[in-house]
Amino acid sequence: MDYRISDAYAGPRSEDYLPASAATAVKVVIVGGFGVGKTTLVGSVSEIRPLTTEETMTQAGVGVDDLAGVEEKTETTVAMDFGRISINERLVLYLFGTPGQQRFWFLWNGLFEGALGAVVLVDTRRLEVSYEVVGHLEERSVPFVVAINTFPGAPSYPMRDLRSAMDLPDEVPMVECDARDRGSCRDTLMALMRYLHSLTTAPPERQ
């Protein structure tokens, strides 16, 4: 059972509190275009009952939201998704999923505040929707990894071709991810943690 908007005002649940052994809590943002699987990823990997703000799509979105490639989609995130996963006994990640439609991107600024890094979820059927997402992260200097969500029937391309198409620097990690699979989602988050660690331990650039 998912929480919806009305539940967001019910106050904190006991399950949302940090485990007593946790020493560090890190905020991670899950971003991507409309319908790429952000809500699914948060729900799959969260160890607590996820908070979602999905609402049924209505006629108001006709001509505004681009449903090309995701015509079967009937619900959409209008604020954020929230979940939590313990990487180990001392490190906990708080996951915030962003809304995908551009008309809700004004909410991103608040969600990015305090975020240590981000996962960009990508659908190869609609690769172009990821370009502006990556641009927003680069403008904000938010470290990120790119996760190719393996939708059934979606075209498969070599990672080097996808990297070139998205104009990504060589150091930005790219991984495959099945947003429906908890283990795959956890591996993606671990790739982000390793990347963030590498950034903190890299020697300073020479002037």
* Total count of residues recorded for the chain: 207
Contact call for residues 45 and 95 (beta carbons, < 8 A): yes
| Domain residue spans of the chain | 5-9+22-201
Nearest residue to 54 via CA among 9, 11, 3: 3
Contact call for residues 136 and 115 (beta carbons, < 8 A): no
State residue 58 phi and psi, 5-degree precision.
Answer: -125, 180
What pLDDT tens digit does each residue of the chain (207 aa) get?
A: 333 333 433 444 555 555 555 668 889 999 998 889 999 999 999 999 888 765 554 444 444 445 555 555 445 444 578 999 998 888 899 999 988 566 555 566 777 888 999 999 999 999 998 998 999 899 889 999 999 999 998 999 999 999 999 999 999 999 999 999 999 999 999 999 999 999 988 776 655
Q: List, in sequence order, every residue forming a beta bridge with 92; answer none if it has no partner.
A: 25, 86
Distance CA 142, CA 105 (A): 16
CATH 3.20.20.70 fits 5-9+22-201, yes or no: no
Q: What is the pTM of this model?
A: 0.77
Distance CA 43, CA 12 (A): 18
Contacts of 155 (CB under 8 A, 6+ apart): 124, 125
State residue 120 phi and psi, 5-degree precision.
Answer: -95, 110
What is the pairing mode between strands 91-97 and 81-86?
antiparallel
Pull the structure tokens for residue 30: 């899950």
Distance CA 84, CA 46 (A): 5
